[in-house]
Structure 1
Amino acid sequence: MPATADTSLHRWLTTARWMLHAPRRRWRRVVRHGLLPFFHVHRQAEIEGDGRLDVAAGVCIGRSARLVVGDGHRLSLARGVWIGDDCELFAAPEVRIGSRTSLQSRSQILGQVSMGSGCVCAANLYVSSGSHRFFDEPHLPVRVQDRRAAARPSFANSRAVSIGDDCWIGINVVILPGVTIGRGCVVGANSVVRSDAPPYSVIGGAPASVLKTRLNFAPPSRIEAREDLHIPYFYSGFQQLGVSEDADDTCARERGGWVAGDRFCLALDVRPADVVDLEIDATHAGTIEHGARIFKVARGRNRLSIPAAPGHWNLLEFNWSYGGGDAAREGALVVLCAAVRTQRTTGTTP
C-alpha cells in the first residue's frame, strides 16, 4: 500500500514522469479521460484503448500495470483505489472497482467484473467473466471453437462476476465466471471459487466451500444508520470508509446517515408484497428508482413508501439520480433509515 508520507507533490512529479516517458500518446489519454488532477501513476504503467475511463481522486496505479478499455467499454476506479505493480484490468464490457479497494501485484481483472468498496485483495488474484469453449465441437481446436461461438448471434460467453464490499481475498485466488461473492466474505489463499458465497462467509479450498461465517447475517425489518450493528445491512453503494490512505477509517456518518452513491443496496427482512419506508436527506431534487417504479425526491428530508422488489439474497437495489452537477455529486443523498411495513390482507373464515 502507498505510504502515508506520499505527498501530493510527489504524486504530481510521478505523474509528470509517466507522461514524459511517451508524451504525445499519454497526454492524449490524460486529456481524454480528465485524469491529471486526480491520479498517481507509475511512469511504466500503460493505459490503452478508446473506451470510457472514470478515475476518481486518490487512485494509484503501480509499475507496469496495464489498463485496457476498448471502444464502447468502460472502466471505473472509485476514490482511493490502489492498483499494484504488474496488474492487468481489461474491461469488456465493464469493470468497476469500489472506493478504497486494493489489488496487490500481478492481479488480473478481466471482462465484466464489479468489485465493491473496501476490499483487500492479495497478490495473484485472477477474476474473469469469460472462458474458452471446448465442449461445443470437441474434435476441433479450442481457438476454432472460440471463434465459431463468438460469430453466432446468440452467443454470450461472458457471465458477470460480482464481489461485494468489505471482502478479504487471499493470495493466488481464482474466481470463475458467473460467481457472486457477498459482502464481507473472506476467501482463503489458493482457493478456486466457482459458486456463489453468501454474505459474511469464510470460504476456502479448490473448489471453495463455506468453512464458517464472520457473523450471523440476518437482515432485520428495520435498519438505522446511527446503529453500528446495522452497518452490514446498508449493504452496498455507501461511503462507510474514508476516501484516502490518510483518512480515519472509523465509520463516520454525514447528516445523520450514510452517503449513498448512484446505485445502492439495502438488506432487509422483506417479502415481495411488503412496503419499504425509506427515510433520506437530499441536497438536490431527484428521483429514486426501485424495481419498475420511479419516485420523486424533494430537496431536504423525505420519507418514501416504496413497494418492495427484492432480488438476489432478498436484497433491495435502488438507483438515484438528481439535478445537481458533478460538483454536487458527492454527498447529494444520505440514507437515514429503512423499515419494512407488511401489507396484511384480511378476510372471513369460511
Structure 2
Amino acid sequence: MIDPSAFVHPKAHVEGAALGPRTRVWQFATVIRGASIGADCNIAPGAMIDGSTIGDRCVVCQNFGAGPGFLIGNDVFLGPNVVMSNDFFPAASKDGFDAARYRAGEWAIIVEGGAAIGANAVILPGIRIGRGAMVGAGAVASRDVPPDTLLARDGRLMPITAAMRSRRMRFVEPRC
C-alpha cells in the first residue's frame, strides 16, 4: 500500500510495494516486489529496491542497489552507489536461489538503526552493520561491523568517537 501522503515521481516505478507517510521516491527509482519503505524516507533517482525492508527516516542515495533479503533499520544513510549482495555464489541460473526465504524473515544483510554506509561501499551477504556504525566510502564489508564502530576502506575497525562525529561537513577555508 502506498500512503496517500507519499510522493512518487511520475518517472519512478513503484509496483507491489509499500510506502510510508511522507516518503518520496524520485525519478528513475524502482521499488518493487514486496519492498517496504517506512515513513519520511527519501529514495533518490536511480535507486533499486527489490523486496527489501527499509525503516523510517532513511536516506537512500542515487544508484543504491538492493535485491531481496535486506533489513534496514530507522534513520539509516545509504550513500551513492552502495551495493548490497544477497548471494554468496551468484550465477545467471537461479537454481538454488530461493528469494522466498528472505520474504519469510531470513535476512541476507541487516543494517541497524542510525548506521551510515558511505559512497561506493559493498556489503557482502551475511553481514550485520550495528546500531550507529559506519562503513566508510569505498569499503567492502566482509565481516560484521559492531555498533558505534567505523569500518574503514582499508578494513580496519575503529570506535567512532565524539570527536569523529563532530568533524561532519569539514570544508577547507578558501584562500584569498
After TM superposition, the score normalised by the length of structure 1 is 0.41
Inter-partner Cα distance in structure 2 for 1:215 and 1:200 = 8
Match of 1:104 among 61, 72, 75: 61
Cα distance, 1:131 vs structure 2: 4.0
Q: Percent identity?
A: 23
Query: C-alpha displacement at 1:214, in angstroms?
Result: 1.8
Q: Does 1:61 align with 2:29?
A: no
Q: Are the counterparts in 1 of residues 117 and 134 from structure 2 also a CA contact under 8 Å?
A: yes
Distance in structure 2 (CA, Å) of the matches to 1:96 and 1:209: 28
Do the aligned residues in 1 keep the contact of 2:3 with 2:21 (CA within 8 Å)? no
1:128, 1:150 → 2: CA distance? 13
Q: Which residue of 2 aligns with 1:75?
A: 35
CA contact (8 A) 1:112 1:128 kept: no
Shift of 1:202: 0.9
Give the corresponding residue for 1:132: 89
Kindly indicate whether the alpha-carbon contact (under 8 Å) linking 2:3 and 2:19 is maintained by their aligned counterparts in 1: no
Query: Aligned pair in 2 of structure 1 residues 36, 115: CA closer, same or farther (>3 Å)?
Result: closer
Q: Among residues 16, 41, 44, which one is paired with 2:11 in the alignment?
A: 44
Question: After the TM superposition, which parts of structure 1 deviate over 3 Å for at least 4 consecutive aligned residues?
Answer: 146-151
1:86 corresponding residue in structure 2: 46
Alignment root-mean-square deviation, CA: 2.2
Higher relative contact order (CA closer than 8 Å, sequence separation 6+): 2
Match for residue 113 of structure 1 among 48, 65, 70: 70
Distance 1:159 1:77 in 2: 16
Which residue of 1 is the match for residue 166 of structure 2?
none
Map 1:1-350 onto structure 2 (within 5 A).
Answer: 33=1, 35=2, 37-49=4-16, 53-69=17-33, 74-91=34-51, 95-133=52-90, 142-143=91-92, 146-150=93-97, 160-205=108-153, 208-210=155-157, 212-215=158-161
Residues 45 and 149 from structure 1, CA distance in 2 versus in 1: closer, same or farther, beyond 3 angstroms? same
Can you give the 5+ residue segments of structure 1 that lack an aligned partner in the other structure?
Answer: 1-32, 134-141, 152-157, 217-350
Gaps of 5+ in 2: 99-105, 163-176
Higher strand share: 1
* AA at the equivalent of 2:19: V
Structure with bigger gyration radius: 1
Q: State the partner residue of 1:267.
A: none
**Larger displacement relative to structure 2 (123-132 or 105-114):** 123-132
Structure 2 CA distance for partners of 1:111 and 1:215, relative to 1, 3 Å: same
Count of aligned pairs between the two proteins = 155
CA distance in 1, matches of 2:85, 2:97: 17
Alpha carbons of structure 1 residues 191 and 118: separation in structure 2 relative to 1, 3 Å? same
